[in-house]
Amino acid sequence: MNLPKNLPRHIAIIMDGNGRWAAQRKLSRIKGHEKGAQTVRTIVRTCARIGVKELTLYAFSRENWKRPRLEILFLMSLLKKYLVKERAELMKNNIIFKTIGRIDELPAGVRKEIQENIRLTARHTGLTLRLALNYGSRTEIVDAARRLATEVKKNNLKINQISEKKFARCLYDPSMSDPDLLIRTGGNMRVSNFLLWQISYAELWVTPTLWPDFKPEDLSRAIRDYAQRERRFGGL
């Protein structure tokens, strides 16, 4: 893989297009999600190998609860299977596993496997793989506001001490850096309530390629495009 030196430190991905991939093949949406899970495996492995530090994947949004019950059940069971099946891969590749989102509202079986992966990988030093699960960015911001308000109420914090830095520390993962590159597959030009606070200065890269068809070569193209952009963070 031909890669530039200035790799994005943190890549975030909106994995879209599983349903369309399946429809194109006259398969059920479930088959699209299954194939999508295989893409997750390949892309995680690639990021670990090339030295990306953080990879954050939008795996299940709060809005996804509006889908048909059977599809939700399938996604939860796929997620649970994935968490168990990929454990060896996380161990072998020195990957740290984390999540963001309202994890306490997920099924108990899924929560158990999440906790196990977090525990087993806590001492690793390679890629941080972060799955956004039952995640919504506005909810995350509201949850942070609640935490800050509680601190003010307890007299641990004064209102004029609330800064961007303090606010960011109350988001779901205080150790998370802002994404440098946000990739969206499936062609839609929107951010769909994903990391609204954190993507303030991220470079956006949208591809019509559907997530099940997304290959390491596509990732490499996104990274090369990113590396050629000049990031100014509002300066000159």
- Residues in the chain, overall count: 236
> What minimum distance in Å lies between the beta carbon of 4 and ligand FPP?
27
Cβ-based nearer residue to ligand FPP, 51 or 187 = 187
Cβ-based nearer residue to ligand FPP, 37 or 219 = 37
User: For ligand FPP, which residue has the nearest CB?
Assistant: 19
Residues that bind ligand FPP (CB under 6 A): 15-20, 29, 33, 36-37, 40, 59, 64, 78-79, 82, 131, 186, 211
Cβ-based nearer residue to ligand FPP, 19 or 148 = 19
> What minimum distance in Å lies between the beta carbon of 235 and ligand FPP?
36
Report CA-CA distances (Å) from 218 to 4, 26, 92, 129, 210: 14, 25, 24, 19, 11
> What minimum distance in Å lies between the beta carbon of 211 and ligand FPP?
6
Which residues form the catalytic set?
Answer: 16, 64
CA distance 34 to 21: 11
